[in-house]
Chains A and B, each alone.
Chain A
Amino acid sequence: MQTKKNKITSDLNVNQDIGREPDHKNTNHPVSHDYINTFEKDKNYFGFYDYRDFAFLLNFSPENTTLSRLFTLDKLLERDKIREKDGFPRKIKLGKLVKPSKDGKDKAIIIPTASEEKFYHWNGDPSGGDGSPTGGNGDETEGEVIGEEPLREDEGEGQGAGQGKGGQHGMGAEAYEIGRILTEQFELPNIKEKGKKTSLTKFSYELTDKNRGHGQILDKKSTLKRIVKTNLALGNITTDEEPDTSKMIITPDDRMYHILSRERDFESQAIVFFLRDYSGSMQGKPTEVIVTQHIYINSWLVYQYKRQVVSRFIVHDTEAEEVPDFYTYFNKSVAGGTDVSSAYALVNKIIEEEHLARDYNIYVFHGTDGDDWKDDNSKVIEELEKILKYASRVGITIAENNYSSRNSTVVENYIKDSNFLEKYRDVLHLDSFVAAEATEERIIKSIKVLIS
């Protein structure tokens, strides 16, 4: 039903077409705009070139199938490496795609993309406004609002629910794969274990154990061996003549089975906190950069810890709150001020309340544009030091806005003043750059700084 205030949404997406000019929308839009390649998830309406006979007449779209003819991603990345040696910038970028879902199990996947760069017109709004106009149809009069779309995800449900719902917060199997690629192709370092204090005992059930007489799966080879043994003992088989199978007998004990058994695993497990400043000044490029970086870091950790990673997401302006999933994490925006200490305090609170420090390798990654409105820095320094004492790594990214002409940002200054970069050299790493100029190479480089 079309109501007057209908929420305009669409699950359909836009794909590229020959010569189609990509609609690069508003640069100030908070994120859903992919940093690397625009999938135009922020575009909720269709343009002319988004309509195709197949979709609209035949209602036919291909499923995900395996194409053996194609190059694998590894091969393509290999090619891209050669390309770099030839002196050209890499072509393949890793893009992310997030599908919001109503039950909270938002999914994010990372897919390779390569844009065909040409001279195109930029179709954004040159007045820095809210997007270029499009067509429509209806009885409403000029000036009337026909629909609205929330900038912020609906709240209420699932607040502070760390684990549980949504499993690994939608960063599924693909994250592992991407982590592997990042590690191998982009030469991200492997993890350095900080001793074994964080190993954790857990159980898994496997069918590796064998059992005589009963079990889940018959082990035919072992069973045959036993039958031969038994019949040798009984004299049914002799060495000097062909064995006659009709004379052989099978005792119940001869049957060998695989049996489900509990195995003890000793594995490292990591919990990673992603902290993001979502204050007003973060809109646009800084947010894109931070989110892109965080999705990569998460993938890298998922790979390094063989999927034993729990991700927690915290956004903050002057107050911090934990959000349930990655999608909310990277889509949220407000227009408030900034208080960095609130986020650090929340991390400490969660760690303490859930007794996480004992069992987990703890990682904290914080992305900010470097603003902090608090005059008194003692709180933030105090909270940060608490984290530094138990964390395996704290990585702070400062994606500066291009309009902050100051040499270094507030956050950078007080961290430098605190001398933590020296004192906790092994734990705290910081990288800062101008967001608007951050290319993918810069982001990867920055990840290396943060995690090496």
Chain B
Amino acid sequence: MELINQHTKKIMEGCKERASDAGLKFDKATLEYMVTNTDLLELSPKNMIPTLYDYWLQDIEVLRSKGEYEYYPNNPYETVINTRPAISFYNNENPDWMNVMIFYHVIAHVDFFQNNRFFEQTWDYDFKEKALTEKRIVSKIRSQKGRAVDYIIEFTRGIDNLVGYFASLKEKEDVELFKLPEQIDYYFNHFIQNQTSFGMQMYLEEIERYNKIEEIEGKTKEELFLALVNGKNPEFDDNFQKYKKEYKQKVGQDLIQFILEESSFINKEENIWMKSVISIIRDTSLYFSPQIRTKIMNEGWASYWHEKLFLKDERIRGHEVGFAKVNAKVTSLSKVGLNPYAIGWRLFMHIEELANKGMYSYDFRRLNEIEQRKKFDTSSGKGNDFIFFIRENYCDATFLNTFIEQDFVDKYKLMVVGQRLNSVKNVKEYYVKSKKAKDYKSMIVNSLYHPPYITFSKDNDGVLYLKHHFEGKELLRDYIPNTLIGLEYLWGNKVNLETMELDWEKMSSGSDGINTDDITRHDPLFRKVIYTVENKKVKKDVIN
């Protein structure tokens, strides 16, 4: 890996200036590297983070990709990583004009990383450096503890999609919202409000009392006030601890944290080192969480800007045709399939257009007359501001859910494509299933990244009980046993998983009661099952 040459870097700096003038906000320091095929192969299992910890399955992944590339050349990588400074990777054979386009695309990604609120927790540090430290920790522990480290990595990764990403966002928000020391916050917002004898009058008096307390030498206002509270309510401290624990369970804790705190195995004296490895895996997963949840927005945003800025850039005059070709390839809607560049880009343009006409307003929404709706235009010119607002505050789910509407679907001739077998012609047919915005939206939202929602508790025998909250899709059965075996290892005791699965037997027996080989086209029937893993043996019980 080497840095791009001075000539190319100069082009990049020119792009940054123009992007900055257009309103994109990003750290001016960036690093650009040329990568070779070998680099790419080695970086891919590490999600392009060169300093990510080593793990033997990454090697298998590389061997696998080597095989795959022979026949199916493709690559799964990002060009730009969310570090400080942001690092992006390039192929060294691009002509200058193409680099201009890619640079704009990359700059928009960087802008997105550094301004979208879902990335908030990645703003305060440089992940690459953190990862490097962690990589060293892992290899040091590995040299002491041997392959146990790899089991810990593997099994923690087995549940790393269940990290409480949204809970971790909320935690931060709580702090910002209340800004009160947590005991004080608990006193006013929970403790006294739960006491039936407390009326509004008394509540206000209590606040008054708090406000009036003057700091005296060596003691803060809070300490003085809490001393008063404790004197009056001896049970306050106990209640507070209990509340804190419950609160954590409710929102602040994910399965990995729970295991860290409650596992009988991890908390053995000789196994304490495992905690650092587990935390590393958890942090890494949290770091990647916003990325996968903003794929469409991020690519749409980058495509929007690379097009807009490229066409304005006077340095590339004469290369419009070349650009048009590449850009069309990237942003064309597929006949069948979902292209995040194409859909995200069009949706941003659509939103900008509507916002420019002032259509995101009550005045427009209340119009029923189709002609009036067509003509509506307040020439507000707020489109640009509005899409910047969206890039700051939305993620894929909210973005698509809010802004996909019939006008958008009609304008770009979008549709839901279904598949069916035609046994007469012996072909699989792709057909237009629906052109309604409602169906399109639900199809698209359904295809978004969405890990299963699983809650957990520890029962009196020390058994870890996982409850999968069924959302219409069963869990991928092939993966359940090994994931559970890993969990048992981390937990140090029996583990249960309650979930729902398709009842193929019942479905295939059919309503007419005839046992038929043709199990296609039946209403899905689900049944409740409980998996138990004990001593690395997994069994499944059907609950009636």
Residues on A lying within 8 angstroms of B by beta carbon are 2, 6, 8, 11-22, 24, 28, 39, 44-49, 51-65, 67, 69-71, 73, 76, 79, 82, 86-89, 91-92, 95, 97, 99, 107, 109-123, 126-152, 280-281, 334-335, 401-403, 405
Contact = CB atoms under 8 A, between A and B. Distances in A.
B374 interface: no
A437 to B, nearest CB: 11
Nearest to A53: B79
Contact of A116 (B147, B157, B330, B481): B157
Contacts of A15: 65, 68, 74-76
Top-8 shortest CB links A-B: A111-B67, A45-B337, A62-B37, A126-B524, A13-B72, A99-B71, A136-B417, A15-B76
B33 to A, nearest CB: 13
Nearest to A136: B417
B105 interface: yes
A109 B67 contact: yes
Given A112-B60, A120-B475, A133-B433, A57 B68 contact: no
B161 interface: yes
Contact of A12 (B37, B40, B72): B72
Contacts of A147: 335-336, 429-430
B158 A53 contact: no
A62 B40 contact: yes
B440 interface: yes
B60 A128 contact: no
Given A82-B147, A148-B428, A53 B105 contact: yes
B105 A149 contact: no
B432 A144 contact: yes
A102 to B, nearest CB: 14
A91 B447 contact: no
A131 B70 CA distance: 28
Contacts of B536: 87-88
Contacts of A44: 336
A106 B159 CA distance: 39
Contacts of A61: 37, 40, 69, 73-75
A151 B523 CA distance: 25
Contacts of A28: 519-520
B79 A58 contact: yes
Contact of B415 (A12, A16, A67, A137): A137
B156 to A, nearest CB: 11
Given A73-B63, A117-B483, A56 B433 contact: no
Given A48-B448, A111-B67, A133-B443, A67 B334 contact: no
A107 B71 contact: yes
A194 B425 CA distance: 48
Contacts, number: 375
Given A118-B451, A142-B433, 15 more contacts: A21-B451, A22-B476, A45-B338, A65-B41, A76-B63, A109-B70, A110-B67, A117-B480, A117-B486, A130-B520, A133-B417, A136-B337, A139-B413, A142-B432, A402-B504
Interface in B227-254: none
27 contacts: A14-B74, A18-B292, A19-B161, A19-B292, A19-B451, A47-B338, A54-B40, A54-B76, A54-B89, A61-B69, A99-B71, A117-B482, A118-B479, A121-B451, A121-B452, A130-B428, A133-B443, A135-B443, A136-B336, A142-B435, A143-B431, A144-B431, A145-B431, A146-B335, A146-B336, A146-B431, A149-B428
B152 interface: no
Contacts of B448: 48
A119 B520 contact: no
A134 B445 CA distance: 11
Contacts of B74: 12-15, 55, 61
A129 B76 contact: no
Contacts of B161: 19, 118-120
Contacts of A14: 74
Contacts of B413: 137-139
Contact of A119 (B68, B285, B422, B480): B480
Contacts of B477: 122
Interface residues of B, number: 134
A237 to B, nearest CB: 54
Most chain B Cβ neighbours within 10 Å, of A99, A116, A149: A116
Most chain B Cβ neighbours within 10 Å, of A136, A144, A401, A402: A136
Interface stretch (B174-182, B205-213, B272-280, B339-347): B339-347
B1 to A, nearest CB: 13
B419 interface: yes
Given A67-B62, A137-B335, A151-B426, A58 B76 contact: no
B449 A20 contact: yes
Given A95-B64, A136-B337, A403-B505, A24 B78 contact: no
Contacts of A19: 161, 285, 288-289, 292, 449, 451
Contacts of A39: 68
A233 to B, nearest CB: 57
B60 A65 contact: no
B339 A51 contact: yes
Nearest to B448: A48
B415 A57 contact: no
A147 B302 CA distance: 31
Contacts of A122: 473-477
B77 interface: yes
Contacts of B62: 67, 70
B427 A114 contact: no
B329 A56 contact: yes
Contacts of A47: 337-338, 447
A89 B482 CA distance: 8
B225 interface: no
A29 to B, nearest CB: 9
Contacts of B125: none
B390 interface: no
B432 A123 contact: no
B316 interface: no
B414 interface: yes
Most chain A Cβ neighbours within 10 Å, of B285, B478, B480: B478
A116 B57 contact: yes
B446 to A, nearest CB: 8
B335 A89 contact: no
Contact of A111 (B68, B429, B468, B479): B68
A112 B64 contact: yes
A162 B511 CA distance: 47
A134 B451 contact: no
Contact of B418 (A73, A89, A133): A133
A145 B64 contact: no
Contacts of B434: 142
B524 A113 contact: no
A119 B60 contact: no
B367 interface: no
Contacts of A117: 158, 478-480, 482-483, 486
Contacts of A123: 473
A122 B97 CA distance: 43
Given A128-B519, A143-B432, A137 B292 contact: no
B121 interface: no
Contact of B330 (A17, A57, A141, A148): A57
B450 interface: yes
Nearest to B58: A70
